[in-house]
Amino acid sequence: MGLLNLLFKDPIAFILIAIPLMYAIIFHELAHGWVAYRMGDSTAKSLGRLSLNPLKHLDPVGTIMLFVFGFGWAKPVPVNFNQLRDKRKGMIAVSSAGIIANMLLAFSALFLDRLLSPAPSGMLTLLLYYFAKINIILAAFNLIPLPPLDGSKILMGFASPSIQSYLFRFERYGFFIIIGLLYFGVLNPVINFFQWMILSFINLLLP
């Protein structure tokens, strides 16, 4: 179900999902640009993309798709890998940054929920839950090693030129393969594993 349907059926639930989803995507893209900047590429900074302003990141088509179908995207932060001080390590670090940012945000939301429990109101608990869940889903989704997702660029950082070329050839089919994987729920075990991993770590910190 798209978010547009949810807006008419349950406006509060819409806000609780739409705002965390928007900022989970923004932090994901911001992390790519910030790590690239730290490693020598100032492209994102020069274009004003190192910002929390949603207007800097939201893609019109991706936003419409998100609201209508519940699946969308933001404008990718531009990165010139040739400007990185170490192209191979830079590709891995920059591509991993968004995934790591989402995992840290998910951890922070679940940790705060556990720390405040049972004090938080029902709405705050829901907000923290949705924010954590959305970030976990984004992290798992972007780990798929298919172009144009981050997982493919991480793999390219470790791969030989011949494998990199092979992955590039997949880019024209990547979107359709990704849609198929989502439709058949292939990511569900990964999402459940990430959530279990975060909660297990929190249990160690807050027994």
Provide the annotated active-site residues.
29
Contacts 24+ apart (CB under 8 A), 56-62: 57/25, 57/26, 57/29, 57/30, 58/22
- The span from the CA of 179 to the CA of 145, in Å, is 14
- In contact, 74 and 57? CB cutoff 8 Å: yes
Q: CA 10 → CA 4, 5, 18, 75, 127, distances in Å?
A: 10, 9, 12, 28, 14
Beta bridge partners of 74: 58
- In contact, 33 and 49? CB cutoff 8 Å: yes
CB proximity list for 51: less than 8 A, separation 6 or greater: 30, 57
Measured at the alpha carbon of residue 186, what is the angle toward residues 18 and 114, in degrees to the nearest 5?
50
